[in-house]
Amino acid sequence: MAKGYRPVDRDQQFLMPESMRDWLPASDPVWLVIGVVAGLDTTRLHAQRRTGGAGRAGYDPDMLLTLLVWAWASGVRSSRVIERLCQRDVAYRIICAGDAPDHVTISRFRADTAQVVQDLFTQVLALCARMGMGQLGVVAVDSVKIASNASLAANRTADGLAKAAAEQAQIDVRARALAAAAAAEHAATDAAEDAMYGPSRHGDELPEELVDPRSRAARIAQALEELTADSAARSAERDGIAERQQDREQRQQQRKQAKLDAYRRQRADRGSAPVGKPPTEIRIEVLTENLAAAQARQQAKIDRYLAGGCVGRAPLPLERNAKVNRIKAALDRAIAEAGAREQAQTAAAARAAARRGGEPRRNITDPQSRMMPLRGGGWLQGYNCQAATSSDGLIIATSVGNNPSDAPAFATILDKATAAATLIDAHRRDDSEAPAGIGVVLADAGYLSIDNLTEPGPDRLIAVGKSRDLAVAAREEPTTGPPPPEATPIEAMAHRLRTPEGHALYKQRSHIAETPFAHAKHNLGFRRFTSRGINRAAAEFSFHALVHNLFKAIGTAALAPAAS
């Protein structure tokens, strides 16, 4: 039981410690982040700043970079929130040394940093390598869809873009007229004031962006230009797809007819009974013949009885005969099965045609972003981000594209991962016993293609199906040794994934590749880019990888904070 309550005296006066070093213990990670950023080569950041002029001194780029790194690691991306934390949070106050920058400065610095992020990412990766991180025996590649700073509702077709351009042109005309009228009114006022007070300086000119508001019109024009080029490419692609689809249908029909002919010949040969369930067309054909034969036999019995050639019970009519009804029911099921299959094929073809023939769209807010289908259903306006991760959780390479498919991005991320492996090997400690280069690259079925399987580079395991199907195949149809010499690249990969060694190796992919994305989305709240354009998105994703690697090193004690 408590003796009483502690006093709550908000008027009590305190003396803060004389040094900021006493505000937080030496073991706090903020000191380590400050030290790491201070050790980076930020020459390119400083080169973007202009000093030596009149006016107030600017903020140190190293301090602003440290602020962005710490804020990102805390899941904070709003410049206004960062400004507020610089006044309220002790760690943020230490980083900015009590001189809090405003949100405009933070936002502008973030935009300027995009040009040098890749260089900073490389330096942090080299630092992690010197600390013994970057285990390259197994590297996993995966992708994540991240929303752009644009809305799905801002997508327009070619007609919609043309209409938006026309509307914007009318807005521009009205804006120019208003700006001209305002400028004329200001000029008349200035002339009257000059006549009254004499010539003097005035600041009544309108800003350039108000006189000529072309920002939105420029984005619409860019979207129209990209859409025109894309429409021509899609038209040629659709023609090629239609031609290939026609060839596939012809080959399928030929194989189907050959199978039916072979089954009929086997059935006609009384010495060899057909094995297995017959095709639906054969079942309908056989059941139709059997039904006709059963009906004929039963009708013959009825005719003989009526003619007086038989004694005993009268034979049942056709509609009540058990054998006739059994064969008829089987025939109805076969016909229904064939109809359902044909209906499913027609619906699938219609869906495929709709996907191929869908009218292309472009976003007028971020023309370089694309509509991305999500695995659980629905769409996202954004980018497809790739990352290569080492077995100890270090993101060694990143790339950002606007193609929803992963396969075309594999060569790019593989080349970047190979270059990163060379960098890591060059910066390892002399006593490191880690083998040079990447041992094997793991990727899911989204990256499967013959080109990706045969692309020069490190050894790789690319799934040929879903993980559960691979597990079933490895358990029920295991293989050993090398694949058959005549196997295609995909068949050879399927053979390798069914071996105990290949399956055990591929099982490492999910926890290596997907853990960083789960941390980014669920722990850091990184689900949307704060800027627009593919280059800015790529820089932001690289910055995330930089922060991820730095705090991975801190979390694994490779860069352990000093003990208090």
pLDDT digits (tens, 9 = 90+) for 430-488: 777 777 889 999 999 999 999 999 999 999 999 999 989 999 999 999 999 899 988 89
Is the predicted pLDDT of residue 119 greater than 60, yes or no?
yes
Section 248-270 average pLDDT: 73
Neighbours of 312 (CB within 10 A): 6
The Cα–Cα gap between 280 and 298 comes to 26
Angle at which helices 103-113 and 79-88 cross, to 10°? 120
Alpha-carbon 297 to chain mean position: 66
The Cα–Cα gap between 476 and 492 comes to 18
The Cα–Cα gap between 399 and 204 comes to 47
Structure confidence by residue, pLDDT tens digits, 142-181? 999 999 888 877 777 766 656 766 766 676 677 777 777 7
Neighbours of 502 (CB within 10 A): 19
384 strand-pairing partners: 145, 401
Nearest in space to 272 (alpha carbons), one of 281, 286, 262, 282: 262
Taking phi over 0 as left and psi of -120 to 50 as alpha, with beta for the rest, 378 belongs to left
Is 432:390 a contact under the CB 8 Å cutoff?
Answer: no
Percent of the chain with pLDDT over 70: 78
Is the predicted pLDDT of residue 357 greater than 50, yes or no?
no
Instruction: Select, from the ranges 53-67, 172-186, 257-271, 519-533, the one with the highest average predicted confidence (pLDDT).
Output: 519-533
Q: Tell me, what's the pLDDT at 122? A: 92
Is the predicted pLDDT of residue 364 greater than 70, yes or no?
yes
Nearest in space to 274 (alpha carbons), one of 288, 289, 286, 264: 264
Q: Tell me, what's the pLDDT at 143? A: 92
Q: Tell me, what's the pLDDT at 201? A: 44
Is the predicted pLDDT of residue 499 greater than 80, yes or no?
yes
Instruction: For residue 296, name the pLDDT band (cuts at 50, 70, 90).
Output: confident
Section 494-503 average pLDDT: 93
Is the predicted pLDDT of residue 210 greater than 60, yes or no?
no
Query: Quick check: helix, strand or coil at residue 6?
Result: coil
Q: Higher model confidence: residue 317 or residue 459?
A: 459
Instruction: For residue 564, name the pLDDT band (cuts at 50, 70, 90).
Output: very low
The Cα–Cα gap between 74 and 69 comes to 9
Is the predicted pLDDT of residue 264 greater than 90, yes or no?
no
Q: Tell me, what's the pLDDT at 257? A: 76
Token pair for 490: 């995909």
Q: Tell me, what's the pLDDT at 195? A: 63
- Of 60-69, 211-220, 271-280, 544-553, which range is least confident? 211-220
The Cα–Cα gap between 133 and 392 comes to 7
Q: Higher model confidence: residue 9 or residue 143?
A: 143
Q: Tell me, what's the pLDDT at 207? A: 44
Going by their DSSP bridges, the two strands 440-443 and 138-147 should be labelled as parallel
Average pLDDT, the chain: 81
Name the residue type at position 262: A
Taking phi over 0 as left and psi of -120 to 50 as alpha, with beta for the rest, 312 belongs to left
- First CA to last CA distance, the chain: 34
- Of 171-175, 231-235, 514-518, 534-538, which range is least confident? 231-235
pTM over 0.75: no
The Cα–Cα gap between 345 and 249 comes to 12
Token pair for 218: 């420029």
Q: Tell me, what's the pLDDT at 261? A: 74
Q: Tell me, what's the pLDDT at 9? A: 67
Is the predicted pLDDT of residue 17 greater than 70, yes or no?
no
Section 399-424 average pLDDT: 92
Is 438:477 a contact under the CB 8 Å cutoff?
Answer: no
Is the predicted pLDDT of residue 236 greater than 70, yes or no?
no
Q: Tell me, what's the pLDDT at 543? A: 93
Nearest in space to 544 (alpha carbons), one of 373, 401, 399: 399
Q: Tell me, what's the pLDDT at 488? A: 92
Is the predicted pLDDT of residue 25 greater than 70, yes or no?
yes
Section 207-215 average pLDDT: 46
